[in-house]
Amino acid sequence: MADNSSVEIVEGCRLPVLRKNQEHEDEWPLAEILSVKEVSSRKLFYVHYIDFNKRLDEWVTADRLDMKKLQFPKKEAKTPTKNGLPGSRPSSPEREVVTTAPSRGKTLPTPVQVDFFNSKNDERLLWVTTDFVIVCQRFVGSFHGKSVNRQVAAKVHESNVGIVHNQDSQDSSDGIPTAPRMTGSLVSDRSHDDIITRMKNIECIELGRHRLKPWYFSPYPQELTSLPILYLCEFCLKYLKSLKCLQRHLTKCNLRHPPGNEIYRKGTISFFEIDGRKNKSYSQNLCLLAKCFLDHKTLYYDTDPFLFYVMTEYDSKGFHIVGYFSKEKESTEDYNVACILTLPPYQRRGYGKLLIEFSYELSKVEGKTGTPEKPLSDLGLLSYRSYWSQTILEILMDLKPDNGERPQITINEISEITSVKKEDVISTLQYLNLINYYKGQYILTLSEEIVDGHERAMQKRHLRIDPKCLHFTPKDWSKRGKW
Ligand SMILES: [Zn+2]
């Protein structure tokens, strides 16, 4: 590489950096220098690859920098914030829209945004009813039999909901992307964030038999951030600075499962419900651990308004944490999940979908529909998309002809059966590109590709929540004192 000693690389410089890629060939994407340090008289550079998720940020040596294309930071480097309030926290960074809240009078941006309430002038908008009746048309044979061309028609009653056809959002043939996007949703402008919180600060976490490499900043006490390994008690999640301290702690710590009530058990999988007020230190330690893998959610030091549902896997040593989600005790916006995370050693094995399924089982017991708090992370969005798609397709495919008549189902009914909020049902139908307009009716065409893709996916989905194993009584938090 070029001689690096003659030019000083400072924070904010941009240049191509060699990114070593385990699965593909090495590449040289443009990166920004976030920090420079010297270790044993060798310079190290903390880089953020511009079009990649922040979790790939890393320290690199000078030989990985392409000095020929070095760009110095522009003066006035501060990017103005959207609302003109520099320094304010980005409350809703721009990212892929799942469903949108009403946003009065805006024109729809491309590629696709679903807006149920506005934009009357956009010709891509179709006006259909809130009581969107879907009729199965030409329903032939069972869905497990082959080569049946299934069509479902949606009848239009009156015009009070707008839908935008979502035709250019397909990531793969069955509409369900197979791999997380490494660009996009989490690379929004964060230049006004504190430089400290843009950098990973914990090298490694030992949690039971796992070693975890954090993806993002987490506000553990600063004196612990220089350690090569931070040790956590895998049951109470207390953090300790050395193995010796952990061993001493383990002689005193009697927990072999998360605190709180075990409200679900099937096989080796259990769920514990933890009250953020009653088990504050556990809840805070859980948030600290989770923040290592969640970029975009505020860390709640005030855990009182939340419940935490921790999923564990049991063996002879105890109940080991696999993942969790948090949930507001009272949500005015129908949120049934605040933060959700599967710990990295357990990812891509169906546990994320199990967490999501559990969150909707709780909503069913509560007799409510729910939706996850936005924004979702890229990985979170993938899991939800996949869960919603499978859940809705499962219902559409199970529709049986009713006395020889075409079976009918409404969006509201799908929503009631699944507890998936209506907006998420509609956005999923659009995302799967099932909705077509045909002879005055809205037709959902379930192509063989969709059906086959769905059946293959369901065969692989071994882990399911069994509602019979859930022992959960919802509490009415509004009637409880805030003490
Ligand atoms: Zn402990």
Which CB contacts under 8 angstroms, 24+ apart, belong to 322-330? 322/346, 322/351, 323/351, 323/352, 323/355, 324/286, 324/290, 324/355, 325/355, 325/358, 325/359, 326/276, 326/287, 326/300, 327/359, 327/362, 329/305, 329/475, 329/477, 330/305, 330/477, 330/478
Q: Residue 373 catalytic? A: yes
254 Cα–ligand 1 center, Å: 7
249 Cα–ligand 1 center, Å: 6
Tokens linked to 357:
């399924």
198 Cα–ligand 1 center, Å: 30
304 Cα–ligand 1 center, Å: 21
The pLDDT score that the predictor gives to residue 438 is: 73
Within 10 angstroms of residue 260's Cβ, the number of other Cβ atoms is 19
The pLDDT score that the predictor gives to residue 114 is: 29
369 Cα–ligand 1 center, Å: 36
The pLDDT score that the predictor gives to residue 26 is: 86
Residue 110 has pLDDT above 60, yes or no: no
Q: Does the domain at residues 13-69 carry the CATH identifier 2.30.30.140?
A: yes
For the residues 347-373, what does the mean pLDDT come to?
Answer: 96
The pLDDT score that the predictor gives to residue 101 is: 31
Residue 78 has pLDDT above 50, yes or no: no
Residue 84 has pLDDT above 70, yes or no: no
The pLDDT score that the predictor gives to residue 13 is: 93
Domain boundaries, the chain: 13-69, 200-375
- Phi then psi for 20, rounded to 5 degrees? -85, 125
Q: Are 355 and 465 in contact (CB under 8 A)?
A: no
Residue 152 has pLDDT above 90, yes or no: no
203-240 confidence digits (pLDDT tens): 999 999 999 999 999 999 999 998 999 999 999 999 99
The pLDDT score that the predictor gives to residue 435 is: 81
For the residues 64-80, what does the mean pLDDT come to?
Answer: 77
For the residues 381-401, what does the mean pLDDT come to?
Answer: 92
Confidence of residue 283 (pLDDT cuts 50, 70, 90): very high
- By the 10 Å C-beta count (0-12 exposed, 13-18 middle, 19+ buried), 31 is classed as buried
Q: Ranked by mean pLDDT, which of 76-90, 121-135, 165-179, 282-296 comes out on top?
A: 282-296
Look at the chain and count its residues: 483
Cα–Cα distance for residue pair 184/52, rounded to 1 Å: 7
Range of weakest confidence among 112-121, 185-194, 251-260, 448-457: 112-121
The pLDDT score that the predictor gives to residue 50 is: 92
Strands 340-342 and 306-315, sheet pairing: unpaired
The pLDDT score that the predictor gives to residue 337 is: 95
324-336 confidence digits (pLDDT tens): 999 999 998 999 9
Range of weakest confidence among 4-8, 28-32, 148-152, 377-381: 148-152
Q: Average pLDDT of the chain?
A: 76
The pLDDT score that the predictor gives to residue 76 is: 56
252 Cα–ligand 1 center, Å: 8
For the residues 138-148, what does the mean pLDDT come to?
Answer: 30
Residue 259 has pLDDT above 90, yes or no: yes
CATH number of 200-375: 3.40.630.30
Of 234, 357, 373, 423, the catalytic one is 373
246 Cα–ligand 1 center, Å: 8
323 Cα–ligand 1 center, Å: 17
209 Cα–ligand 1 center, Å: 14
239 Cα–ligand 1 center, Å: 9
Cα–Cα distance for residue pair 202/199, rounded to 1 Å: 9
Residue 278 has pLDDT above 80, yes or no: yes
- By the 10 Å C-beta count (0-12 exposed, 13-18 middle, 19+ buried), 229 is classed as middle
Residue 141 has pLDDT above 50, yes or no: no
Residue 310 has pLDDT above 50, yes or no: yes
For the residues 47-51, what does the mean pLDDT come to?
Answer: 92
Beta bridge partners of 206: 211, 231
Q: Ranked by mean pLDDT, which of 26-30, 368-372, 441-445 comes out on top?
A: 368-372
200 Cα–ligand 1 center, Å: 25
- Do the domains 13-69 and 200-375 sit in the same CATH topology, yes or no? no
Range of weakest confidence among 13-22, 48-57, 76-85, 423-432: 76-85
For the residues 350-370, what does the mean pLDDT come to?
Answer: 97
The pLDDT score that the predictor gives to residue 296 is: 74
The pLDDT score that the predictor gives to residue 115 is: 32
